[in-house]
Amino acid sequence: MTQLSRADAEELRRSWDVRQEPFLPHRDEAFAVLADAATGRRALDLAGGTGTIASRLVNAEVTLLDVDPVLLAVARVALGDRVEVVAADLGAPGWGVGLEFDAVVAGTALHCFGPGRLRALYAEIHAVLAPGGVFANADRMPEGGPVASGDDGLAGWHEWWAKALAHPALAEAARGRVDGGSADFYPPASWHLEALRAAGFDEVEVRWRREGTAVVVARRTR
């Protein structure tokens, strides 16, 4: 079987980053805020894709979790041994059983879930955090008007997937893909703060905002 080379994995990750920017304006800045928020020894990059955020968590033992076998395959090779890469479906409870972290971060990802599942997921994230642990979420969180669609990025995104799925070393992973779709749920930051409090987090705040992109941070104090 053809192995994915480090060079090809890094190129796929670099081009993924370029393709993702229209879906999260100011992505680089937002992810720097996530990385700063992620203090502690053990960090989890939730729905981490090809590993953009995980690669920034340089002072922690990092786990990347995602459901997509192609993205996981790229992340495994691009990130190397420094990051543990695990497959799990956040759409169902149970993904966090037996896990414990000091920080959990998510970027451009939790809009995939509708309000009911996201509330439940926030409680599950609370449960995997050690006391004192921090959760940070970067996504589009519009105040007022409707969220920009990011549709101007769709052509590039389709092009990225066409290239990845045609790579001989990713053929087996491609066959294992299940497209669960996205709820495209983009509530304002105030919704996230309320849902995080209801999930058991004691300290919640909007740590950073630029236009429609924001980072909310929540701490489990006990």
213 touches ligand SAM by CB under 6 A: no
Strand partners, 66: 87
Query: Could you give the string, one character per residue 118-147, with x where binding to ligand SAM holds by CB under 6 A and - elsewhere?
Result: ------------------------------
CA distance 36 to 179: 32
Answer for which of 91, 115, 132, 168 binds ligand SAM (CB under 6 A) is: 91
Q: Toward ligand SAM, which CB reaches closer, 123 or 197?
A: 123
Q: Toward ligand SAM, which CB reaches closer, 99 or 197?
A: 99
Query: Could you give the string, one character per residue 71-90, with x where binding to ligand SAM holds by CB under 6 A and - elsewhere?
Result: x-----------------xx
Query: Which parts of 150-169 interact with ligand SAM (CB under 6 A)?
Result: none
66 touches ligand SAM by CB under 6 A: yes
Contact 42, 20 (CB under 8 A): no
CA distance 207 to 154: 29
Q: In what order do the strands lie in the sheet with 203-210?
A: 83-87, 61-66, 42-46, 101-107, 129-140, 213-219, 203-210
Query: Which parts of 4-63 interact with ligand SAM (CB under 6 A)?
Result: 20, 47-49, 52-53
Alpha-helical (H) ranges within 93-212 are: 115-128, 154-166, 171-175, 189-198
Answer for which of 32, 67, 99, 165 binds ligand SAM (CB under 6 A) is: 67
Q: How far is the CB of 1 from ligand SAM (least distance, A)?
A: 23
116 touches ligand SAM by CB under 6 A: no
Question: For 138, phi and psi rounded to 5 degrees?
Answer: -110, 125
Question: For 94, phi and psi rounded to 5 degrees?
Answer: 110, -20
Answer for which of 158, 180, 198, 202 binds ligand SAM (CB under 6 A) is: 180
Token pair in block for residue 125: 């994230």
How many Cβ atoms are within 10 Å of 172's Cβ, its own excluded?
13
Interface residues with ligand SAM (CB under 6 A)? 20, 47-49, 52-53, 66-68, 71, 89-91, 107-109, 112, 180
